[in-house]
Amino acid sequence: MANYLKVLSDYIIGELNNYKSGSDEDKQKALRIEDAIDKAMADPEYDKWKRPYLTPYRQVHDSTKRFTVYFKIEEIKPLKDSKAVFFVFVNSPDELHDTRRYGEDPSLVEFTKYKDSGNLEPFVPEYYLGNYRSRFQSTYAQFLYKLRNNSSQAQAILNQDDNNPNLWTCSGGAFLSVGDSELGQSAQLLLKIVEEFRGRGCNLTIDVYNYDDDDKKKLHDEVLTELGLRKIIFEDFIRYEL
Q: Is CATH 1.10.1790 what the domain over 130-241 is classified as, yes or no?
A: no
Percent of the chain with pLDDT over 90: 35
pLDDT one-digit tens code per residue, 3-35: 788 899 999 999 999 999 999 999 999 999 999
Domain 3-127, what fold?
A: YaeB-like fold (3.30.2310)
Looking at the DSSP assignment, which residues form a beta bridge with residue 3?
82
The 3-state DSSP class for residue 84 equals strand
pLDDT score of 108 more than 50: yes
pLDDT score of 178 more than 60: no
Pairing of strands 203-209, 167-171: parallel
pLDDT one-digit tens code per residue, 193-224: 888 888 888 888 888 887 667 777 787 788 88
Question: What is residue 200's predicted lDDT score, i.e. its pLDDT?
Answer: 85
Task: Give span(s): CATH 3.30.2310, the chain.
Answer: 3-127
The answer to whether 152 touches 185, Cβ cutoff 8 Å, is: yes
Nearest residue to 158 via CA among 240, 76, 236: 240
Helices (H) and strands (E) in the chain, counts: 6, 12
pLDDT one-digit tens code per residue, 37-65: 999 999 999 999 999 999 999 999 988 88
The answer to whether 85 touches 44, Cβ cutoff 8 Å, is: yes
Task: Give span(s): CATH 3.40.630, the chain.
Answer: 130-241
pLDDT score of 180 more than 50: no
Q: Look up the pTM and report it.
A: 0.74
Burial class (CB in 10 A: 0-12, 13-18, 19+), 62: buried
